[in-house]
Amino acid sequence: MTEQASFTRGSTRIPLLSCTIGERLDQVVTAFPDREALVDVPSGRRWTYAELARDVDRLAGTLAAHGVAKGDRVGIWALNCPEWVLVQYATARLGAILVNINPAYRSHELAYALNHSGVSLLVAQPEYRSSDYRTMAAEAEDGCPALRETLWIGDPAWQRSAAGESPDGPLDLPGLHCDEPINIQYTSGTTGFPKGATLSHRNILNNAHTVGELLGYTEQDRICVPVPFYHCFGMVLGNLAALSHAACVVIPSLGFDPAAALRAVAAERATSLYGVPTMFIAELGLPDFDSYDLSSLRTGLMGGSPCPVEVMKRVQSDMHMAEVAIAYGMTETSPVSTLTRREDDLAHRTETVGRVVPHVEVKVADPVSGEPVPRGEPGELCTRGYSVMLGYWDEPERTAEAVDREGWMHTGDLATMREDGYLSVVGRIKDMIIRGGENVYPREIEEFLHTHPAIADVQVVGVPDGRYGEEIFAFVVLHDPAGRLCAEDVATYCHGRLAHYKTPRHVRVVEAFPMTVSGKVRKTELRELAAQDVQ
């Protein structure tokens, strides 16, 4: 391995934590009992750390009374609400394994997750908008023999639990260890059933703590979290990053609402705001954007997909987030492997996903040999360290496909490593377009088309073509919903500025892109739509 190989190792300056999530909560309560820990803007409810620990212990005692013990799986099927946070910490207190269930799941998917992980108790939200969770749960539970009971948030049984007697001091639960599993998160697989990434206290608490350190968090910070708790972005980088630094989590709304997010920032004087680029685009696009006082913001996190240059400029200037960071990761790595730093310039924040975080190794490897490629050449991004999952729940073969014998997690992402160690993700291995023998990376075209004055957002995919093998298809969202844009308009804009083989042959204007709950664009669905269009 030469010095110029695409391999880098993170610093060990920030020590790893060796405690459980419950132990960390106790440490913070001792040091900062009166600091605000959690604010739910929709309901107006607030908790200091001492009050949060009291209610967590109360709920942990209730769950134990319902038969939940160490190692049992407890499902949580709800949007962002304070009860989600309480269940997260109460299960950690007991050593039970929290199973995050996507609020977008319907009865068939719910039944799969409950059965696959063996959930014995489910905590669920009764309804949200047009979703009737009670009916869906009733349809699913008949085929779930391990499920003993469902507790519905807000029901009398839940209220009695919340009003129960608080134990005297922290629960006495010997035998918990930070390397034990504490969380199962189902990844939104593109083929077959989702896989249950199994994570330990050490995995997620250390990743949260490390990211919080790199963002400069202290007990003075207030983190507005509009990203879903069901995903690592919300529950790890939001809740646990706040816990590890005695900071405060601000919940702006049950589901993402751009106006609610900015109202919460202004009302609660948030110092940090999270989101995927499409969320920031929606916030910046509000007609009354200038009416929100966002001067308290200092930093934040963006992940999920690359941030266009023009959007990043406005986030840093108009939203006052000069220190905003770009994160790269995946559920299986707890989640963050690389992160930009507070002092990085605009180019690093928009052209890269940062550099390796402490105590983690990253390489860009030849997909066949597994050896690091020279810097600047594309290959598969692989990561290794404390953050790699324990495995996929009850699926050793699928685990072995993802994590090799040397402990490297194979991400499936194509990336390049620069001379300074910063990484650029150029697409998924399966997303790379091969047009007439030329390798085309959608990210490059998307970044260029973001400079078009009519285009607010864009996603590029490959579509089968009889002559070239694949052609380039661009889905665009316009600034003006009533506007029009055709392939000829885009070709004219690209002429002389983008290589001819990178110019989209097909263009379709859409109102929005199909998204996962965690904020990632479903390119598989876009490819299907594109194929239908060109038939």
| pLDDT tens-place string over residues 292-327 | 999 999 999 998 777 888 999 999 999 999 999 999
DSSP codes, 160-194 = HHHTSPPPSSS---TT--TTSEEEEEE---SSSS-
Alpha helices (H) in 485-522, listed in sequence order: 487-494
Q: Is residue 481 part of a domain?
A: yes
Residue 372 is given by DSSP the state: B
CB contact at 8 A, 47 and 153: no
Cβ count within 10 A of residue 69: 12
pLDDT at 499: 83
What's the average model confidence in pLDDT over 115-131? 95
CB under 8 A, 24+ apart: contacts of 362-369: 362/7, 362/8, 362/9, 362/10, 362/337, 362/338, 362/417, 362/423, 363/5, 363/6, 363/7, 363/8, 363/408, 364/6, 364/7, 364/415, 364/416, 364/417, 364/423, 365/6, 365/408, 367/429
Number of domain units in the chain: 1
Give the distance from CA 44 to its chain's centroid: 26
What does the alpha-carbon distance between residue 331 and residue 340 come to, in Å, rounded to a whole number?
19
pLDDT tens digit string along 199-215?
Answer: 999 999 999 999 999 99
Cβ count within 10 A of residue 122: 26
Q: How confident is the model at residue 191 (pLDDT cuts 50, 70, 90)?
A: very low
pLDDT tens digit string along 12-66?
Answer: 998 999 999 999 999 999 999 999 999 999 999 999 999 999 999 999 999 999 9
pLDDT tens digit string along 361-399?
Answer: 999 999 889 999 999 999 999 999 999 999 999 999 999
What does the alpha-carbon distance between residue 258 and residue 282 come to, in Å, rounded to a whole number?
6
Q: Is residue 445 part of a domain?
A: yes
CB contact at 8 A, 515 and 278: yes
Cβ count within 10 A of residue 406: 8
Which of 147, 218, 205 shows the shortest CA–CA distance to 179? 205
Residues 415-452, buried b or exposed e (16+ Cβ, 10 A)? bbbeeebbbbbbbeeebbbebeeeebbbbbbbbbbbeb
Q: Is residue 39 part of a domain?
A: no
Which of 255, 254, 257, 246 shows the shortest CA–CA distance to 222? 246
pLDDT at 404: 96
**Token pair listed for 310:** 């023009």
pLDDT tens digit string along 152-168?
Answer: 999 988 887 766 655 55
pLDDT at 262: 98
pLDDT tens digit string along 488-521?
Answer: 999 999 998 888 889 999 999 999 999 876 677 8
pLDDT at 188: 62
Q: Is residue 378 part of a domain?
A: no
Report CA-CA distances (Å) from 3 to 8, 236, 372, 377, 385. 10, 34, 11, 14, 21
Give the distance from CA 15 to its chain's centroid: 24
What does the alpha-carbon distance between residue 135 and residue 324 come to, in Å, rounded to a whole number?
41
CB contact at 8 A, 208 and 11: no
The neighbouring-strand residues paired with 372 are 365
Task: Give the domain CATH number at 493.
Answer: 3.30.300.30
Q: Is residue 193 part of a domain?
A: no
Report CA-CA distances (Å) from 205 to 23, 195, 230, 276. 11, 21, 16, 22
Full strand arrangement of the beta sheet holding 360-365: 7-9, 360-365, 379-385, 409-417, 423-428
Type and span of the H or E element at 217: none
Does pLDDT of 77 surpass 70? Answer: yes
Share of the chain above pLDDT 90, in %: 81
pLDDT at 159: 84
Phi, psi of 360 (to 5 degrees): -125, 145
pLDDT tens digit string along 464-476?
Answer: 988 888 999 999 9
CB contact at 8 A, 511 and 479: no
What SS3 state is found at 323? coil
Q: How confident is the model at residue 3 (pLDDT cuts 50, 70, 90)?
A: low
Q: Is residue 11 part of a domain?
A: no
pLDDT at 202: 98
CA dihedral 26, 28, 31, 34 (to 10 degrees): -100
Q: Is residue 484 part of a domain?
A: yes
Q: Is residue 234 part of a domain?
A: no
pLDDT at 175: 85
DSSP codes, 453-476 = TTEEEEEEEEEEETTTEEEEEEEE
Full residue range of the structural domain in which residue 440 is found: 431-533
What's the average model confidence in pLDDT over 522-529? 92
What's the average model confidence in pLDDT over 425-432? 81
CB contact at 8 A, 171 and 26: no
Tell me the residue type at 339. L
Q: How confident is the model at residue 190 (pLDDT cuts 50, 70, 90)?
A: very low
Which of 124, 130, 82, 71 shows the shortest CA–CA distance to 100? 124
Which of 386, 393, 513 shows the shortest CA–CA distance to 446? 513
pLDDT at 138: 94
What does the alpha-carbon distance between residue 197 and residue 187 come to, in Å, rounded to a whole number?
7
What SS3 state is found at 480? coil
What does the alpha-carbon distance between residue 406 and residue 388 come to, in Å, rounded to a whole number?
12
What does the alpha-carbon distance between residue 494 and residue 445 come to, in Å, rounded to a whole number?
10
